[in-house]
Chain A
């Protein structure tokens, strides 16, 4: 029976890895939305996830709103934070270069983290799982019902975004801004509004990620930076700018981390993501699904 339980253990690592990877994928998707419209990497992306988790705890646990109300309220509030970031920190920068904007997002992530510590303190917060915590046993692995919510939302986000960018004129206008902002304004697209929309959208996705992961891993004020690093790794691994790439990259990164922690040593868990990130940058900077030709003309 020893071999079966080992297989079960591997399966357990895979399930855990894919769940955590789904969150990385959502963070990576958030990176890509803003990157695709503005060419900048928003390092405050992880803070959206942290805010999503903590604000959800506030609405659901502290205020006592039912899940169905607390969820959208949280997403709306975090989206508002995303809009404020664009209005107060990105748009006012005079003669913006990609580098100054990126540094501004780093400053913002520090600011948001500080504010969160001020509001919520340093303790981690728990959130009740959406459909209870009775684990399901499946081929020797233990699966939390919340895992399905995480997967479900990843699929939902992937489908919704694909539809938005491939089928709607606003989605195409956002891609056009990334492609050529001057030409975009020549056809009547207000580029600044599209940038605002990209911040709003990726804040909303960050919030969803934070809400669904908090019942599994708790949430505290300083989680954002590490999530941003992992999400960035996933985005690079999949090819910066590619949505399918972000999802594949996230799932792979989560799995590597989970197998690494289980089979090698759990203390090195965070190192695996960084090793993968560096390996990709060394050997295939365009990522798995990135277009090598496009990556040559891009500024990053």
Chain B
């Protein structure tokens, strides 16, 4: 579904990604693990169009989408849950969710939108109790759920998730990873970027290890879980 060939990108003078190639097959969960500063977020931002890339191809459904603006890429069916949630903190929970449907928020789509919102409230019942609350006053875990809900309103076929476990209580992390699994079972392809290697490897089919802007290892997630090197560096022995 998504294929990246030789992607390079930089922040100012610092080369962050050095010719990365990955594949995300339809219907799978692919995770990318790596330490802080390895280039994980830059990779996702390159796909979603927030960063201009220097070299390489980003092929989605047989079309090279590199260089298109972020606001167009959503319409192709790629939604991103950004790092650190990035919800619209001054707006209400409901407004955040509705803005997720910005591209098709028209009267004739009202029923579809209503259905999607109801479905999201089934997945995240906490949000239903807080529809009118200002999003910035939610807890970290609730904000993460809202960020996922907002991204899902964009009708994604491919969901990009940037560190969904960051700064969240362990119990909620488990809940969020359960949701990731559910979404995947319902047919959404997911590209997940995580520092929490254990959780990321458990939920994924296939994984890549990113170090200093390069892919150093890849394989079935199950196999990587048993890989001695991964165990030592990323899983704490």
Contact = CB atoms under 8 A, between A and B. Distances in A.
A203 interface: no
Interface of B: 48-50, 69-72, 74-75, 79-80, 82, 86-91, 95, 98-100, 102-103, 105, 150-151, 153-154
A62 interface: no
Contacts of B150: 187
B98 A169 contact: yes
Nearest to B49: A185
Given A169-B102, A188-B154, 19 more contacts: A175-B90, A175-B91, A176-B91, A178-B90, A179-B89, A179-B90, A179-B91, A180-B89, A183-B86, A183-B87, A183-B88, A187-B74, A187-B99, A187-B100, A187-B153, A188-B71, A188-B103, A189-B71, A189-B99
B70 A175 contact: no
Contacts of B89: 179-180
Interface string A2-20: 0000000000000000000
A1 interface: no
A270 interface: no
Contacts of A123: none
Interface in A1-48: none
Given A169-B102, A180-B86, A182-B82, A188 B75 contact: yes
Interface residues of A, number: 19
B86 A187 contact: no
A175 B58 CA distance: 31
A174 B79 CA distance: 20
Contacts of A184: 88, 99
5 tightest A-B contacts by CB? A185-B70, A188-B74, A188-B103, A183-B86, A179-B88
9 contacts: A169-B102, A169-B105, A179-B91, A182-B50, A184-B88, A186-B48, A187-B79, A187-B103, A187-B150
Nearest to B94: A172
B126 to A, nearest CB: 20
A187 B154 contact: yes
Interface of A: 169, 172-173, 175-176, 178-180, 182-191, 294
A180 B85 CA distance: 11
Nearest to A179: B88
A172 B74 contact: no
A183 B88 CA distance: 8
A191 B103 CA distance: 13
Contacts of A188: 71-72, 74-75, 102-103, 154
Given A182-B82, A186-B74, A176 B88 contact: yes
B48 A172 contact: no
A186 B70 contact: yes
B88 A186 contact: no
Nearest to A166: B95
Given A175-B88, A294-B90, A183 B105 contact: no
Contacts of A169: 98-99, 102, 105
Nearest to A172: B95
A138 B1 CA distance: 75
Contacts of A179: 88-91
B216 to A, nearest CB: 29
Contacts of A294: 90
A180 B86 CA distance: 7
A173 B102 contact: yes
A94 B93 CA distance: 34
Given A186-B79, A186-B80, A294-B90, A173 B50 contact: no
A188 B78 CA distance: 10
A190 B69 CA distance: 9
A294 to B, nearest CB: 7
A225 to B, nearest CB: 31
A191 B79 CA distance: 17
A187 B101 CA distance: 7
B98 to A, nearest CB: 7
A187 B153 CA distance: 9
Nearest to A36: B90
A57 B88 CA distance: 43
Nearest to A168: B105
A50 B13 CA distance: 46
A241 to B, nearest CB: 9
A179 B92 CA distance: 12
Nearest to B92: A172
Contacts of B75: 188
Contacts of A190: 69, 71
B71 A183 contact: no
A65 B196 CA distance: 70
Nearest to A183: B86
A176 B105 CA distance: 15
Contacts of B74: 186-188
A61 B90 CA distance: 46
Contacts of B70: 182, 185-186
